[in-house]
Structure 1
C-alpha cells in the first residue's frame, strides 16, 4: 500500500501532513499497512515515562500505556523515536507494538553488568556535544563515536561554547585535535550565545532525526533551544568554580524543528559504556586497522611482535601512542561486555589467558636457566 493510498482513506486523510514533520514517509507507511487493516493507528513516541508514553499522532499528542511492549529484554522496550502502533480508541489507550527500528543507539547500563540500554531509535544523525569550557577529553569523544557508528547513525561532533575560546589559533588547534580523533566525521564549532555555527548545524540536521548526546553541562539544552528557535528546554547557568554547566534535562524528548527535521534531546550521560560495539570501535580507529594490514602476523597484538605495522606507525610518529592505547582499552571493554552473554567468547578469552600465562612462565623459566 502506497503512502498516497493509505492517506486517502477517510479515517486517516490528515496522516501524511500531520506526521511528516516527525519523519513519516512511504517506507513507514508500507511497514504499517498490515496494522492499518486492523484499525490501528501510527504515531511517533516523543517521550517515555514509567510505563506510559506520549505519542504524536495525526490527532495530536496521545498518552498511551506500554504494558504490551514491556518485554524482559531491555533492548526491546519502547523508547523515544519509535513508531508506535496504537489502539484507535479506549481508556487508557494501549501501544500494541512498534515498527521495526532502522537504527538504535545503545549503551551498556554498567561496566559490571551485561544489559544494554536503548537511548533513542530511528536516528539518522548522532550529535555529540562537547563543551570547550573545560579541557577536551578525547577518550570520551571516541567512546561516543564508537556507539554512534555502531547505532547506524552518522556521527557529528559539535564543540559548544566556542565564545569561551576567543583566540582563533587556540580554537583551531582544538578543532584539529578533535578531527584527528574523529576521522570521517564533521566537526563544528558552535556558540549558542553569539549564534556562531547554529545555521550550519540546522542545515545538517534539517533532514531526518537527530539525537543530541553528551555529558551533563555540555550545553545540549542550550543548543536544542538554539535549533528550535525558542526556549523549550530548561537551561541552568554554568558554575563559577569550574565553568561547567549543570545537569538540566531529565528525560528524552523528541521535538520537531522549525526548519525541518526532528531532534531528540537526552539527559547528560554520566557513563558511556560500550555494548557490543566492535564495528563502531573499528570505524573510530579506522587508521589503526589500516596500519594493522601491514603486520606480518594476522593475529598481531601490536605490542612487541616483529613486523608490526601499527607499532611502526607509532615509532614513526604517524600514529599517536594515546590513540593506540585508547583503541586497546575500548576493544578490551567491549570484549568483556560481550563475553558476559557469549559463552563461546568467554571460553576463547580463558583459553587465550591460559596460553599467555603458560608462555610467560616458560619465558621466565628459560631466563632463570640461561636458555633464553
Structure 2
C-alpha cells in the first residue's frame, strides 16, 4: 500500500504519527487478517461510519473487542483512529483495535453508576460556543473549560450571535477575565463577521470540535464555516433562549480549507468526568492565590493571611467565580469517591475496573505502516 492509496485518510488528518501508531498496532494483532487504518467519522450507538483507504464504510467492533472493553470509554468515539478488517465484497468492516488517543473530550454519562462518555477524540482545538443572548453564562463556560483542559486539546471560546448583543466587546472582556490566556472571539454568522479570526485554528489536517448548549449556534457555525448547509438548524424559544437538539449524533466533517470539524449534540448541563487537572488549569489564577496563603493547609475561610479572602475583599477575585471554583471542587471530589466505591465493587465481583485510555508513547524511529504492510 502506498501513500497515494491513503488519499481518503489524508483528508481526515492521517499523518506520520498515526502511521507509526498503525504499525505498532499491527505488530500486536494477528497477521492473517487484512487490517487497514480508519477514522471514525460518525457514531450511532454501537454502529459507526468510518473512512478507510478504500473510502467510507459502516463498521462495528468485534465480539472479542466488546468482551474485553472495561468501560464505555474503551469503545471508539468520533475522531478515533482504529484498525479495521474490511469485509470481502461488502461496504462494511469490523473494528479490531483502537489506536492510542492523543486527546479525548469527555463528560460523565448520566446514571447512578459513574462512567465516562467520550464525546470526541484526537482533537486539537475545542470551540466552546456560547450565544450572546439570554443564554450567556460565564459559569457555564468555566465548566466547559475544565473539561477541555482535561481533554488535552486547546480551548477557544466563541461568542456567537454577536448581532443580538449591543456590547459584544464587553461580554468578551468578561469571559477573558474568567478564562485567563484563552482566546475569546465574538462572531456573527448572520452578519458574516469574525470568520477571519478563526482561520488560524482551521488549518489543513487540524481537528476542531464544537461544543456548547442547545441553541448556541453550533450547527449554524459549522454551516457558516463550511460555506454550505451540512447540518440542519432549528430556531430557539426566544423567551428563554433555549434551543432544541438539532444535532442528534456526533459527526466529523471536512471543511473546504482542509480542517476537520466535529459537531456534537447540545448539552443542557455538562457533567464533569475525572477533571482534576482541567479544574486546576481552568482556575489557575485562584490556585496561584492559594499558593500565597500564609498556611499551606488554608481553607480560605477565616484564616489569617489568606490571599484568596484578601483578593475577594479587594474585588480582584470575582465572588461568583470563586463560588464556582468551590462548587466544582466539591463535585469532582464527590465523583472521585463514587468512582473509588465503584472500582472496589467491581473488584469484589471479579470484574476488570474501567478507566481512561492512557496515552501510550510512540517509537519515533519506527518504520512506516506501509512498509510493514508491504512485508
TM-score range, shorter chain: 0.7 to 0.9
2:197 aligned with 1:178: no
Residue number in structure 1 paired with 2:351 = none
Find the residue that maps to 2:86 and give its secondary structure. Answer: coil
Residue number in structure 2 paired with 1:144 = 144
Tell me, yes or no, if the aligned pair for 2:163 and 2:188 is still in contact at 8 Å. yes
Tell me, yes or no, if the aligned pair for 1:202 and 1:259 is still in contact at 8 Å. no
2:51 aligned with 1:56: yes
Find the residue that maps to 1:340 and give its secondary structure. Answer: helix
Tell me, yes or no, if the aligned pair for 1:114 and 1:338 is still in contact at 8 Å. no
2:161 aligned with 1:161: yes
* CA distance in structure 2 between the aligned counterparts of 1:199 and 1:320, rounded to whole angstroms: 32
The residue correspondences of 1:200-279 to structure 2 (distance < 5 A) are 200-207=197-204, 208-279=206-277
Measured at CA, do residues 111 and 132 of structure 1 come closer, stay the same or move farther in structure 2, by a change above 3 Å? farther
Q: Deviations over 1:195-251 (max 9, x none)?
A: 111222133232511110001000000001111110010011233434444320000
Tell me, yes or no, if the aligned pair for 1:82 and 1:121 is still in contact at 8 Å. yes
Q: Which moved more, 1:232-241 or 1:262-271?
A: 232-241
Q: CA deviation at 1:110?
A: 3.3
Residue number in structure 2 paired with 1:97 = 97
Which of 7, 12, 37 is residue 22 of structure 1 equivalent to?
A: 12
Which of 284, 289, 292 is residue 291 of structure 1 equivalent to?
A: 289
Structure number with the higher helix fraction is 1
2:17 aligned with 1:31: no
Query: What are the ranges of 5 or more consecutive residues in structure 2 without an aligned counterpart?
Result: 345-375
Q: CA deviation at 1:41?
A: 0.7
Find the residue that maps to 1:342 and give its secondary structure. Answer: helix
* CA distance in structure 1 between the aligned counterparts of 2:111 and 2:176, rounded to whole angstroms: 28
CA RMSD of aligned residues (A): 2.1
State the number of aligned residues. Answer: 333
Residue number in structure 2 paired with 1:118 = 118
Measured at CA, do residues 344 and 112 of structure 1 come closer, stay the same or move farther in structure 2, by a change above 3 Å? closer
Q: CA deviation at 1:25?
A: 0.4
2:130 aligned with 1:130: yes
Q: Deviations over 1:93-148 (max 9, x none)?
A: 21111111000111111385421111111011011000112142111110000000
Larger Rg: 1
TM-score (norm 2): 0.84
Q: CA deviation at 1:294?
A: 1.1
Q: Deviations over 1:65-118 (max 9, x none)?
A: 224443240111111000011103345521111111000111111385421111
Tell me, yes or no, if the aligned pair for 2:127 and 2:157 is still in contact at 8 Å. yes
Measured at CA, do residues 50 and 345 of structure 1 come closer, stay the same or move farther in structure 2, by a change above 3 Å? closer
TM-score (norm 1): 0.85
